[in-house]
Amino acid sequence: MQLNTLKRIESIDVLRGIVMIIMALDHTRDFFHVDAVTGNPLDLTTTTPILFFTRWITHFCAPVFVFLTGVSAALSGCKKIKSEASGFLIKRGLWLLLVEIFIITLGLTFDPFYNAIILQVIWVIGLGMILLGILMRISTRAILVVGIILAFGHDLINYISIPQSGLKTDLINIFFTARFYIVPIAPQHVIIFLYAILPWAGLLLLGYSASVWFINYSPQQRKKILAIAGFFVTAMFIVLRLINHYGNSIPFTKQSTFGYTILSFINTDKYPPSLQYMCMTIGPALLLLALLEYRKNIFTSFAKIYGQVPFFYYVLHFYILHMLLVITFYASGYGAKNIVPKSTPFFFRPDNSGFSLGIVYLIWISVVLVLYFPCRWYSKYKLANKQKWWLHYL
């Protein structure tokens, strides 16, 4: 396929839209479920299958989104000269770091004093773009090699004894583990690292390398390649999980029932994203990409709208959810003394407040439907104003 005839790949937009819709379920649960603060939906000793599934299905969102970000970075940059594409990625990466710190954190916490700065997926995407922009100046082979090393090798950290304190501990946690790692930066102010930099950056680099399937092959060829790759990566997950030694910090174990044993089997590490976690999520995503080729129906048209403006949707959904949280906060009889919680940085989210899982699903569906209209408007606006440079950063 010639680069000058390369068109927007609708299957990417549809898949990205699907994961954006699912992603909102997890954040709705965080804000509104009664056990979100005090319980762990993946703890097999206390969870229920539906609660486990509600959390587990959202595991697909971040890795698929990061992987597709790498693909999209290649597709959008293939008409630019190398230095121009590299410079844009570095600048956009820096911009995303500022967005995470000042815009996303505020939407999450509603804390105007920024007592807690929360660094998660936008943070690692920004840093991944900066790394990608640097590696582009070396070679495309370097991007693939570094991506493989980071994605397949970062679990070696599980076999290393990490110091209990000091700068080395901070760096290892920030770059490799980041299991909700908290770093104090001033009295009453902390940074919370939810996402480890290097594993997620490796996944973004692999997405960039996989873009050749979309650039150099016809849709018919691409569909076959995606299906083969999807089966292979999914099979890799199953094999690694059965071997039960490498690629996840905690092995799966036999449970009291077969159903819970299956839950243990698919309960892989997101913090940091283990190799098994990546394979479990990216394998089915590649299969779904193959299935989405040539698929046009009401659902794909609906999901595509969100996938065309993921950044806009991502920012907006946090603020809508948190404004709803404020409304339910006061409607539930809470007052000013309850605004700042004890266990989370989310203002207006008392520890023991919340609703049943059914209400959470109802709020989630309502918010997604409401967001359809501004997302459709913004999608049309971007399409009609391609010449505006600042739109490329949003």
Q: What is the pLDDT of residues 134-172, one digit of tens each?
A: 999 999 999 999 999 999 999 999 888 877 778 889 999
Structure tokens at 171: 């760096």
Structure tokens at 70: 């790498």
40: left (phi > 0), else alpha (psi -120 to 50), else beta?
beta
Please give the share of the chain, as a percent, with pLDDT higher than 70.
98
Torsion sign over Cα 170, 43, 24, 247: positive
Q: Which residues pair with 33 in a beta bridge?
A: 355
Range with lowest mean pLDDT among 133-137, 161-165, 296-300, 312-316: 161-165
The percentage of the chain sitting over the pLDDT mark of 90, rounded to a whole number, equals: 86
- Extract the tokens encoding 142: 């370097």
pLDDT exceeds cutoff 50 at 35: yes
- Secondary structure letter of residue 115 according to DSSP: S
Per residue in 61-103, pLDDT tens?
999 999 999 999 999 888 889 899 999 999 999 999 999 999 9
Query: In this structure, what token pair is assigned to residue 158?
Result: 């599980």
Q: Are 120 and 108 in contact (CB under 8 A)?
A: no
Contact residues for 54 (Cβ-Cβ < 8 A; gap 6+): 25, 26, 29, 41, 357, 360
* 235-291 pLDDT per residue, tens: 999 999 999 999 999 899 999 999 999 999 999 999 999 999 999 999 999 999 999
Q: What is the pLDDT of residue 1?
A: 41
Cα–Cα dist 121/108, whole Å: 13
- Mean pLDDT across the chain: 94
> What local confidence, expressed as pLDDT, does residue 6 receive?
58
d(CA 26, CA 232): 28
- Cα gap 89→91, rounded to integer Å: 6
> Is residue 18 scored above 60 in pLDDT?
yes
Is the confidence at residue 8, as pLDDT, over 50? yes
Task: Write the DSSP string, 157-191.
Answer: GGGS---SSSHHHHHHIIIII-SSEEEEEETTEEE
- Burial pattern 207-231, b for ≥16 Cβ within 10 A else e, equals bbbbbebbbeeeeeebbebbbebbe
SS3 call for 117? strand
Q: What are phi and psi of 31, to 5 degrees?
A: -80, -35
Element (H, E) at 68: helix 61-77
CB atoms within 10 A of CB 98: 11
Cα separation, 182 vs 28, in Å, equals 23
State the pLDDT at residue 352: 86
With tokens 């969102």, the residue in question is: 61
- Judged by average pLDDT, the poorest of 8-12, 58-62, 195-199 is 8-12
Contacts 24+ apart (CB under 8 A), 139-143: 140/209, 143/205, 143/208, 143/209
Give yes or no for residue 3 having a pLDDT over 60.
Answer: no
Q: What DSSP designation does 355 have?
A: B
Prior bond to 272 cis, omega within 30?
A: yes
Residue-level pLDDT at 387 = 83
pLDDT of residue 393: 78
Task: Give the C-alpha separation, 154 to 276, whole Å.
Answer: 12
